[in-house]
Amino acid sequence: MRNEASESATAPARSAPPRHIAIIMDGNGRWAAARGLPRLEGHRRGVEALRRAVRAAGELGVSYLTVYSFSSENWRRPPQEISDLMGLMKRFIRNDLADLHASGVRVRIIGARDNLAPDIRSLLVEAEELTRDNTKLNLTVAFNYGSRQEIAQAARKIAQAVAEGRLDPARIDETMIDACLDTQGVPDPDLIIRTSGEQRLSNFLLWQSAYAEFVFLPGHWPDFDRAALEEAIGIYQSRDRRYGAVSIQDAKTGELAGA
Ligand code: FPP
């Protein structure tokens, strides 16, 4: 029989649930290959998993959800797959925008816009403008996004202000750089999840992930569901986030040792 009193006395304190979860949705191709299906089918099922993730995040009280749906390096894929992914993005906005809006989701899209087709560009603007005042969940879709490019663009903006004599270089700090990134106004991710077992960032939120916790799940993205999200949150809550300081427990031990 469980002894709840002694368990709670010895169990480490669980941290608060994450306010911002970012997800690298990986493994669509492998999911499809394992079933003898075309890669497009994996991406289609990936969109369904994305819908489940958005719903679950809202239900679990997550305030910010960021997903990596097309990287600046994904242009290296075969033209047909690029066209399929562009098509899925358009369909996602056309089919899901009304529901997202009705559910109180604010949609932001981060990434470069200049090399996207005009019809996609206007859909992205429409999604952002329609949902601008929603507050239930902040969904950021990283589309045509690359973190190094984002940081280089911020550097260019700041250098330009210095060159024009509008900015003293001594005033450049972390807050100013934050404000020049695509994610301006969005808090840093607390938890970054990557599916399909790979353990790398792949040019995603490099600056913003300075103190994020990483959880790598073995399952492929099309199988992602609320249970997987809860599992990742549970792992996150068992971690001790110290931000370069010492844990509360170690600090107390230190105080006793010094007393
Ligand atoms: C990684 O799987 C996934 C992507 C490159 C795209 C993610 C896209 C979706 C979840 C669907 C599209 C969603 C929107 C909103 C457009 P992979 O193809 O790299 O899989 P693999 O590593 O197994 O080949």
Cα dihedral sign, 169-173-176-180:
positive
pLDDT in tens, 20-57: 999 999 999 999 999 999 999 999 999 999 999 999 99
* Predicted local confidence at residue 251, as pLDDT: 54
Question: Is CATH 3.40.1180.10 the right assignment for the domain spanning 16-146+188-237?
Answer: yes
- 3-state secondary structure (DSSP) of residue 173: coil
Question: Taking the domains of the chain in order of start, what are their residue ranges?
Answer: 16-146+188-237
Amino acid at 21: I
Query: What is the distance in A from the centroid of ligand 1 to the CA of 75?
Result: 13
pLDDT in tens, 61-108: 999 999 999 999 999 999 999 999 999 999 999 999 999 999 999 999
Q: Are 29 and 198 in contact (CB under 8 A)?
A: no
pLDDT in tens, 138-158: 999 999 999 999 999 999 999
* Residue whose CA is at the smallest distance from ligand 1 atom 6: 69
Q: Are 27 and 222 in contact (CB under 8 A)?
A: yes
Would you place residue 134 in the very low, low, confident or very high pLDDT band (cuts 50, 70, 90)?
Answer: very high
Please list every protein residue whose CB sits less than 6 Å from any atom of ligand 1.
25-30, 43, 46-47, 50, 69, 74, 85, 88-89, 92, 141, 196, 221
User: Which atom in ligand 1 lies closest to the alpha carbon of residue 141?
Assistant: 15
Q: 164 pLDDT exceeds 80?
A: yes
